[in-house]
Amino acid sequence: MAKVPYVDKDECTGCGDCVENLPSVFQLDDDDIAEVKDPKGASEEEIQGAIDDCPAEAISWKES
């Protein structure tokens, strides 16, 4: 079981921080809400940084 990042779209405010910091992992959808485009696009440490930095606490890990 690997853990992958997950964006709770109900919590995301669309601030874009995660997309700016890790564009290899996150992107904004058509509604300007973040989504994961490549869960393996960065190291676990880098993704944890995006989780810690999300002002809405909208990103978390889930088991894939």
Question: Residues in the site for ligand SF4, rule: CB under 6 A?
Answer: 7, 12-18, 34, 54-56, 58-59
- Report yes or no: 51 and 60 within 8 Å, Cβ to Cβ: yes
Helices (H), 7-61: 17-21, 44-53
Q: For residue 52, what are its two tokens? A: 């810690």
We find the least distance from the C-beta atom of residue 1 to ligand SF4, in angstroms, to be 23
We find the least distance from the C-beta atom of residue 50 to ligand SF4, in angstroms, to be 7
Instruction: List the beta bridge partners of residue 5.
Output: 61
CB nearer to ligand SF4: pick between 34 and 47: 34
CB nearer to ligand SF4: pick between 40 and 56: 56
